[in-house]
Amino acid sequence: MVHASAGSAKTMLRLQMRAVRKEAARKTPDAADQLLTHLPAALLTGRKVVAGYRAHGAEIDPWPLMQAFAKAGARIALPAAVSLDAPLVFRAYADGDALASDAAGVPSPIAEAAILEPDLVITPLLAFDNRGARMGQGGGHYDRTLAALRARSPVFVLGLAYAAQQVARIPAEPHDQPLDAILTEKGYIEAAKDL
């Protein structure tokens, strides 16, 4: 009997979940607005810096959620890749600020924008499970970044996903960084760390 490694199992799951996410985005075009109805009020208050992302493709747009954090007093930051194998940095961003391509070719705040240390990071994902395991695009950018942030200070990590992106179990690897919670258009899920 041949056993697939966690890495090859993730590769197969990624292919499947890209299609699932695309279909969920098609069926739920107002998902970004629905997220706000499920965000716990306690999570919204007391944040100094909230890092989000600019939605790409079928990812849920975090901007309405990030605006809610800004209205509650948080500074907003977006990720920027300074090299392909280093942790992301988070640069200050406000609606309308200039963007430039980062090392990964993603539009990000310009290099002159202040670098901020988030206490809450909103991450995109392809799949998640109820333990808080997250499967991203496969580049390891968020795993490296979250590991570096957590080595310096506590940070709450909130994954954004469509409910359809939940799977029974993400194949785990030692470098994987868990989510603290997941927010979908159908509800808020705290990671079950004891499973």
pLDDT digits (tens, 9 = 90+) for 38-69: 999 999 999 999 999 999 999 999 999 999 99
**pLDDT tens track for 159-191:** 999 999 999 998 878 888 999 999 999 999 999
Residue of higher predicted confidence among 4 and 16: 16
pLDDT-based confidence at residue 149 (cuts at 50, 70, 90): very high
Res 3: pLDDT: 46
Q: Which residue from 63, 61, 65 is spatially nearest to 25, judged by alpha carbons?
A: 61
Q: Any bridge partners for residue 50, and if so which?
A: 76, 120
Q: Which residue from 177, 173, 185, 179 is spatially nearest to 128, judged by alpha carbons?
A: 179
Rounded-to-integer distance, Cα 9 and Cα 25, Å: 24
Residue 120 tokens, joined: 């809450």
Res 173: pLDDT: 80
Query: Are residues 55 and 124 in contact, defined by beta-carbon separation less than 8 angstroms?
Result: yes
Say which DSSP state 30 is in. T
Q: Is the pLDDT of residue 195 over 70?
A: no
Residue of higher predicted confidence among 192 and 133: 133
Residue of higher predicted confidence among 76 and 138: 76
**DSSP string of 140-184?**
-HHHHHHHHHHHHS--EEEEE--GGGB-S-PPP-TTPPPPSEEEE
Q: Would the pTM of this model clear 0.85, i.e. be above it?
A: yes
Average pLDDT (6-26) is: 87
Rounded-to-integer distance, Cα 2 and Cα 63, Å: 44
Res 2: pLDDT: 41
Res 7: pLDDT: 56
Query: Are residues 167 and 127 in contact, defined by beta-carbon separation less than 8 angstroms?
Result: yes
Res 1: pLDDT: 38
Please classify residue 95 by burial: count the beta carbons closer than 10 Å to its beta carbon, then call 0-12 exposed, 13-18 middle and 19+ buried.
Answer: exposed
How many of the other CB atoms lie within 10 Å of CB of 107? 13
**pLDDT tens track for 93-141:** 999 999 999 999 999 999 999 999 999 999 999 999 999 999 988 777 8
Tokens 């800004």 belong to 70
Residue 79 tokens, joined: 């990720």
Secondary structure (3-state) at 43: helix
Q: Which residue from 65, 74, 67, 78 is spatially nearest to 46, judged by alpha carbons?
A: 74
Say which DSSP state 113 is in. S
Query: Are residues 66 and 50 in contact, defined by beta-carbon separation less than 8 angstroms?
Result: yes
